[in-house]
Each structure stands twice: as structure tokens, then as C-alpha cells.
């Protein structure tokens, strides 16, 4: 058990997406788990070749030439999730050999404390059973694996099922390998709301869905870590008394001059016309994620109707930032308009929009956002760190310590990353009496 923990901890020592990229030449990080890396390469389909990335640029170019400039949101959606050549669709983009690293991959303490938080709040709500563990955009499945480890330690005695919402067929397999004993992909024509199933070593059933709408009804503990930053954003500008949209056009109509550029829409677009700023909005230039608003609305409806808790963890702001759309490739900033499909596209999450969308859509009680460093400290992260260090081999202690420091340090991930929790409105008086741990 300890060896396993140390192996996990010792490979989580790269840098992370939004704050600082690692100097790969300088890191002494050991290679990621050999078997998994090999299998991910073996499974990598032909569709991730340079040709495909080139063809994505060609497809986007042909579309723009045929129908005119496209929104940044449409560009982002195509680049990240185009079924043939989308960035997430057919490769492992995480870790030293990928483009970025995320908190659950840096230290096991992250997933463990999230697991303890879920158990504590679930118990406060009367330990409802059965319940579902739902994760949006699970990446490599590391957070789910660490949370499941905690749930099994607590021996909850409840009926549990696991539901992953993942658009990438390739990543869904990596996730299943992380925490399932067996898994199988369903035939394309199965007509079921899930496309992959699995069973954990302890017999818990897991299901993979393409959309949150396809997750069955029922009391749910819902996690979203670095999911909302991958959802498309529209870029809007207040000009001449109305909102106008920044679009993406081809750089030149000449065949031999490829590339893309930003242009301002000549007239209002459907989104700039319907956009309703949150009362008090002062920015004249902002990023608006219609898809975030839609997904948060679905979460709010579900939590109000079926009961549940959502924990949203991401880098972001509270409605003050104006221009955060960017790309990452090989752990460095990259021009988002160059080589579409070869780099991750992202924008800081607007937590003010999330809170507003949740509270507008249903009777929802939101907590936060609070900074990640504060949340983890309040969850007794130091105590867990000391425990791990007490049992660690001397050569692993520095890696374990620096991983936790990276997650909590204000100059690293401690303040830019934030936590926001959603509860059914009816439990608000109960939560006044028994405050939500980590948020106060
Ligand atoms: C930045 S990664 C975060 C991964 C993981 N949560 C972590 O923190 O390590 C984004 C994840 O969301 C998935 N994803 C992106 N857009 C999605 C969408 N529209 N629906 C479902 N999953 C999506 C990606 O395939 C990937 O698993």
C-alpha cells in the first residue's frame, strides 16, 4: 500500500497548466508508469498524425472561406473535440511527455482530501444510498481513482455506481485502466446512454457517457476538475453601444498563406445579441462561455431534483478578467491560432458566471469560490503530508513535500485555482448550522 502510494507520489512532480510550465530539461521526474505509457502509445490511432492536424487547419480554413469567420467558441470546440483530429480525442496529453500536468497528477493528497470532503458532506446530508460518483472530464482518471480509494477506506456501506462524462474515446480507456478491473466498449449502435462500462476490483459498476444529460437520475456526488476551462468561450466587446463578437478569420485568402487571425464581427452575432451581462458588469471586453452556463444549469437542475453535491475545481476569476484565451504545447505557452489540434486551448473559468447560472436555474446553495491553498489547508492537508512523510523513503520525501507545496503555495497553484461547491437550496439552513468544511 505504502509502496504504491510512494510510486504514485514520486511520479507527480512536473508543473501544471495555467501558472507555470516545467523546465523539462531541469526536472528529475521519473518516467510515468511504463506499462500505461506503452499501452497508450499502442492504442494511439493513426488519427493523431501531423497530417490530421494539418487537415483540421484545412477543414477550418475551408469552412471559414465558405461561410465566413467563426466564433472563438466554435474554433475551440473543433480544435479540442473534433472527432477525428481534436486535441483530446486520441492521445494522452498529460504529464511530462504531454502538454501540462494537473493537481491530481501532482500529489495524491489532492484526490484524497477531495474524497474525505465528499464523504463528510455526504454524511451531513444523511448518507443517502444508493448514490453516484460522477466526474466531468476525468482526464487520466487519477482523481477518480484516489477518491474511490478513500470511499473504500471509509466502508460507507452504501450502494455506489460510477459515471464518467468523457468526450474522448481514447482517454476513457485510460480512465478505465486506472480504476477498473475489467472494462468493455459497447458497439456504436448499442442505443444505450453510455458507450463504455467497467467494474472495479471491489465490484462497483462504472459507466462512461458522452454528455451529462445521459447520466441517470439519482443522488450524485459530482466532481469537475479542469473541465470548465476546456469549454468553449465567446469573446465579446462593448462597442458603439452594443456587444460585438471577436471572430476568427483566415489570415489570407491566398492558398500559399495559411493561418488565422482575429477580426471583429461587422454586425451582431447570435451570441452577442442574446448575451445578458450579470448586473453590475463593468468590463467592455470579456469572455463568455455559453456552454459553461448550459452545463451549470444542468448540474443545478439535477442537484435540485435528485439531491447531490457538485464540487467545481479550476483556475479562474470572479468576473474581473478580460482576455485569458490561450494555448499550451509541450509545457509552454503557444499561439492558439497556430497549428490547431496540436496544443491545448483553454480560458480561465468565470466563477461569477457559474454561481450566477446555478442560482438562476434552480434553488441552489453555492459555497465559494475559495482558493485551493486555503481549501487544502482547511482540509488538514499538512497533517496528511506529515503522515505520508513519516512513512516515506528518504529519497522520496522531497518530491512528496514539493508536490503539496506546489498545490498550496500562493505563488504556484494555491491562489489561482479555486473551489466552488453546489448544494440543493433546501439544505442551506442545515449548512448554516453545520458549515461546509473547507469553505469556512
Ligand atoms: C484539462 S483536462 C482535465 C482532466 C482531469 N480532470 C485532470 O484534472 O487531470 C479536460 C478533460 O475534459 C474532457 N473534455 C473536454 N471537453 C469535454 C466535453 N465537452 N465533454 C466531456 N468531456 C470533455 C477532456 O477529454 C479531458 O478529459
Q: Is the distance from CB of 290 to CB of 303 less than 8 angstroms?
A: no
Distance 431 CA to ligand 1 centre (A): 30
**Residue 260 maps to a domain:** no
pLDDT value for 95: 77
Ligand 1 lined by 95 (C-beta under 6 Å): no
Please indicate, yes or no, if residue 28 is contained in any of the structural domains. Answer: yes
Compute the distance between CA of residue 329 and CA of residue 336 in angstroms, rounded to an integer.
10
Provide φ and ψ at 89, rounded to 5°. -80, -25
Tell me if 253 is assigned to some domain.
Answer: no
Measured from the CB, is residue 171 less than 6 Å from ligand 1?
Answer: yes
Q: For residues 305 and 312, give the distance between their C-alpha atoms in angstroms, rounded to a whole number.
A: 19
Q: Which residue is listed with cell 442505443?
A: 191
CA–CA separation, 425 and 304 (whole Å): 7
Q: Is residue 326 part of a domain?
A: yes
pLDDT at 16 (0 to 100): 42
Residue 251 maps to a domain: no
From 74, 99, 139, 209, mutation site for ligand 1 pocket: most ligand atoms within 8 A of C-beta = 139
Q: Which residues contact 226 (CB under 8 A, 6 or more apart)?
A: 17, 102, 103, 137, 139, 313, 314, 315
> How many domains is the chain partitioned into structurally?
1
Is 92 among the domain residues?
A: yes
Ligand 1 pocket residue status of 269, Cβ below 6 Å: no
Residues β-bridged to residue 244: 237
Report the relative pairing of strands 242-250 and 234-239 from DSSP bridges: antiparallel
Cβ(82) – ligand 1 distance below 6 Å: no
User: Which residue's CA is the closest to the ligand 1 atom numbered 11?
Assistant: 137
**Model confidence pLDDT, tens digit, residues 237-256:** 999 999 999 999 999 888 77
Ranges of the chain whose pLDDT falls below 70: 1-54
Q: Residue 23: which CATH number?
A: 3.40.50.12710
Q: Is the CB of 138 under 6 A from ligand 1?
A: yes
Centre of ligand 1 from the C-alpha of residue 166, in Å: 7
For residue 130, report the distance from its CA to the centre of ligand 1, in Å: 26
- Pocket test of ligand 1: the residue of 32, 79, 88, 106 to mutate, having most ligand atoms within 8 Å of its CB, is 88
- Domain containing 26 equals 2-232+282-433
Q: Distance between CA atoms of 120 and 115, rounded to whole angstroms?
A: 9
C-alpha cell read off for 228: 470548465
pLDDT of residue 5: 37
How far apart are the CA of 67 and the centre of ligand 1, in A? 29
Q: How many CB atoms lie within 10 A of CB 426?
A: 11
How many other CB atoms are there within 10 angstroms of residue 27's CB atom? 13
Cell 452575432, residue located: 269
Whether residue 262 is contained in a domain is answered as no
| Interval between CA 394 and ligand 1 midpoint (Å) | 35
The tens digit of pLDDT for each residue in 290-324 reads 999 999 999 999 999 999 999 999 999 999 999 99
Is 418 part of a structural domain of the chain? yes
CA-to-CA separations, 344 to 108, 112, 138, 330, in angstroms, rounded: 24, 27, 16, 10
Tell me, using a 6 A CB cutoff, whether residue 141 lines ligand 1: no
Other CB atoms closer than 10 Å to residue 433's CB: what's the count? 7
The answer to whether the CB of 421 falls within 8 A of the CB of 309 is yes
Amino acid at each position: 500500500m505504502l509502496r504504491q502510494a510512494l510510486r504514485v507520489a514520486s511520479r507527480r512532480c512536473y508543473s501544471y497548466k495555467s501558472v507555470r510550465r516545467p523546465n523539462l530539461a531541469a526536472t528529475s521526474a521519473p518516467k510515468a508508469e511504463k506499462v500505461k505509457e506503452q499501452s497508450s502509445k499502442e492504442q494511439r490511432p493513426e488519427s493523431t498524425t501531423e497530417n490530421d492536424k494539418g487537415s483540421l487547419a484545412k477543414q477550418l480554413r475551408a469552412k471559414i472561406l465558405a461561410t465566413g469567420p467563426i466564433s472563438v467558441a466554435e474554433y475551440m470546440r473543433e480544435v479540442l473535440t473534433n472527432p477525428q483530429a481534436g486535441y483530446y480525442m486520441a492521445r494522452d496529453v498529460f504529464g511530462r511527455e504531454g502538454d501540462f500536468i494537473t493537481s491530481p497528477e501532482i500529489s495524491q493528497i489532492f484526490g484524497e482530501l477531495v474524497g474525505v470532503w465528499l464523504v463528510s458532506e455526504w454524511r451531513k446530508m444523511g448518507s443517502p444510498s444508493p448514490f453516484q460518483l460522477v466526474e466531468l472530464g476525468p482526464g487520466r482518471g487519477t482523481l477518480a481513482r484516489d477518491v474511490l480509494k478513500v470511499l473504500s477506506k471509509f466502508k460507507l456501506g452504501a450502494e455506489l455506481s460510477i459515471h464518467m462524462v468523457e468526450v474522448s474515446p481514447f482517454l476513457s480507456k485510460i480512465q478505465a485502466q486506472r480504476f477498473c478491473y475489467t472494462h468493455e466498449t459497447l458497439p456504436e449502435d448499442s442505443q444505450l446512454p453510455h458507450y463504455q462500462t467497467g467494474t472495479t476490483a471491489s465490484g462497483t459498476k462504472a459507466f462512461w457517457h458522452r454528455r451529462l444529460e445521459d447520466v441517470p437520475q439519482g443522488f450524485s456526488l459530482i466532481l469537475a476538475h479542469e473541465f470548465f476551462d476546456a469549454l468553449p468561450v465567446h469573446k465579446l466587446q462593448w462597442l458603439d453601444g452594443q456587444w460585438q463578437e471577436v471572430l476568427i478569420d483566415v489570415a489570407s485568402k491566398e492558398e500559399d498563406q495559411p493561418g488565422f487571425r482575429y477580426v471583429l464581427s461587422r454586425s451582431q452575432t447570435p451570441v452577442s445579441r442574446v448575451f445578458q451581462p450579470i448586473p453590475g458588469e463593468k468590463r467592455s471586453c470579456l469572455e463568455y462561455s455559453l456552454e459553461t452556463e448550459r452545463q451549470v444549469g444542468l448540474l443545478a437542475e439535477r442537484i435540485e431534483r435528485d439531491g447531490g453535491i457538485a464540487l467545481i475545481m479550476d483556475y479562474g476569476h470572479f468576473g474581473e478578467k478580460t482576455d485569458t484565451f490561450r494555448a499550451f504545447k509541450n509545457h509552454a505557452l503557444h499561439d492558439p491560432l497556430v497549428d490547431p489540434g496540436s496544443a491545448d486551448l483553454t480560458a480561465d473559468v468565470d466563477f461569477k458566471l457559474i454561481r450566477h447560472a446555478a442560482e438562476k436555474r434552480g434553488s441552489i446553495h453555492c459555497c465559494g469560490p475559495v482558493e485551493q491553498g486555503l481549501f487544502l489547508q482547511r482540509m488538514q492537508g499538512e497533517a496528511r503530508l506529515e503522515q505520508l512523510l513519516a512513512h516515506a523513503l528518504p529519497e522520496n520525501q522531497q518530491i512528496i513535500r514539493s508536490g503539496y507545496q506546489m498545490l498550496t503555495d500562493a505563488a504556484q497553484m494555491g491562489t489561482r485555482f479555486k473551489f466552488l461547491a453546489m448544494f440543493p437550496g433546501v439544505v442551506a439552513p442545515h449548512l448554516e448550522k453545520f458549515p461546509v468544511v473547507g469553505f469556512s
